[in-house]
Amino acid sequence: MRVLVYGAGQLAQMMYLEGAPLGIEVQAVNVKDDSVVHPVSKRPLEQSLVQAIESADALTVEFEHVPERLLEQAAKSDKLMPSMDAIMVGADRVREKHLLEKFEVANCPYQIVTQIDQLDACIEALGDKLIIKASRDGYDGYGQWRLKSVDELQAIKQELAGLDLETVPLVVEKMLNFERELSLIGVRSKKGEIKIYPLAENLHHKGQLHVSVAPATQLSEPLVEQAETIFRTLADGMNYVGVLAVEMFQCQDKLLVNELAPRVHNSGHWSLSGAHTSQFENHLRALVGLPLGDTAAILPSAMVNVIGCSAFSRDLLSIPGCDLHWYGKSVREKRKMGHINLTATSYHELGDKLHKLMSYVPTEYFPELEKEAYRLRSYK
């Protein structure tokens, strides 16, 4: 069995590593030059993209922003999973909002802006505390602006003045007071079978995910049921195949969808160590028609992103239940270089291990560690 992944980054690499024991060969496409490469070594393979599409059993993506011409070519093969429409929802916030409205899934109050002067009406409708997002190509805090008071409006208008908002509109959302961000990773097969991972709690710094803990703490049964209903509504509604990530804000006892990611997702990396079947293996299983694997958590887990640095002690591997996943990239500010997974028998022990991890890493690059370690150690 062979799966071709559009994108040749760390997600394709982890799919390759998880597919090998199942006899699933994973190849990757460098979408910058259409070359077919090995997902780990990045070595070019001796076949064209057309040949790779023909020989593959399934095509998929590791990120949403694949050039549309490549998605169109892939869709013509009838092997692309999830569908091009589903992938485009993840790439375009306007499409995403329209999908959520179509399926009556609660999300953040918003307005679509195609002209700068429409921001005044947004303030009237949503208040003077707003999150302004480019509808395309924004991620990890890029392509986003925060309006904290009406006094900042003119400065933000000047900053946005050079953008072509007719081509790439803005999605302007009300800034919410939410308790936390939760994400749900689930997988749906071609036959409509669904398996769902436990909710993860995400901690961000400057718009970028730094730590995920799964299962999330303090989850009520109604909240879990609400999250799973949201996933099933979206996955079934789109006739989705593969792993889908749903990021949500918890506002007291209600969940509001923030973003969708039609692929394996950073907040599901904990599953490599903390679940019976990882999100990467389950994504491949769904694509090639194998039975979906068990998504139950084995132990409380934490995933810690390594961002913008490579200088840390590999002796962190001496911590019991600690795994390092290194992506082999050159260092760049805000670039995800790898991640660290930790598992423990309790949340308190997990907090102890996060605290111990601080002695092996430059803490300025891990600003959420101390706070999360302290929080988890409060659980007895």
Q: Is 281 left (phi over 0), alpha (psi -120 to 50) or beta?
A: alpha
Residue 277 in contact with residue 295, Cβ under 8 Å?
yes
- Number of other residues whose CB lies within 10 A of the CB of residue 317: 12
CA distance linking residue 245 with residue 268, whole number of Å:
8
Q: What is the pTM of this model?
A: 0.95
Residue 161 binned pLDDT confidence (cut-offs 50, 70, 90): confident
Domains, the chain, ordered by start: 2-80 (3.40.50.20), 109-174 (3.30.1490.20), 180-377 (3.30.470.20)
Secondary element (H or E) of residue 7: none
Residue 139: is its pLDDT beyond 90? no
Q: Is 267 within 8 Å of 209 (Cβ atoms)?
A: yes
Cα 326 to Cα 9, 170, 204, 252, 269, distances in angstroms:
11, 35, 20, 37, 12
Give which of 275, 137, 265, 304 is closest to 198, Cα–Cα. Answer: 275
Q: What is the pLDDT of residues 170-217, one digit of tens each?
A: 999 999 999 999 999 999 999 999 999 999 999 999 889 999 999 999
Question: What is the H or E stretch that residue 167 is in?
Answer: none
Q: How far is CA 186 from CA 99, 123, 164, 245, 344, in A?
A: 18, 36, 36, 7, 23
**Cα separation, 181 vs 202, whole angstroms:** 6
For residues 372 and 2, what is the distance between their CA atoms, to the nearest angstrom? 40
- Residue-wise pLDDT tens digits, 348-373: 999 999 999 999 999 999 999 999 99
Dihedral of the alpha carbons of 114, 115, 117, 119, in degrees to the nearest 10: 30
pLDDT digits (tens, 9 = 90+) for 57-100: 999 999 999 999 999 999 999 999 999 999 999 999 999 999 99
β 2-6/25-30 pair status: parallel
Are β-strands 242-251 and 208-214 bridged in parallel, bridged antiparallel, or unpaired? unpaired
Is the pLDDT reported for residue 380 higher than 90? no
Do the bridges between strand 144-147 and strand 170-174 make them parallel or antiparallel, or are there none, so unpaired?
A: unpaired
Start-to-end Cα distance in the chain:
47
Q: What is the pLDDT of residues 229-283, one digit of tens each?
A: 999 999 999 999 999 999 999 999 999 999 999 999 999 999 999 999 999 999 9
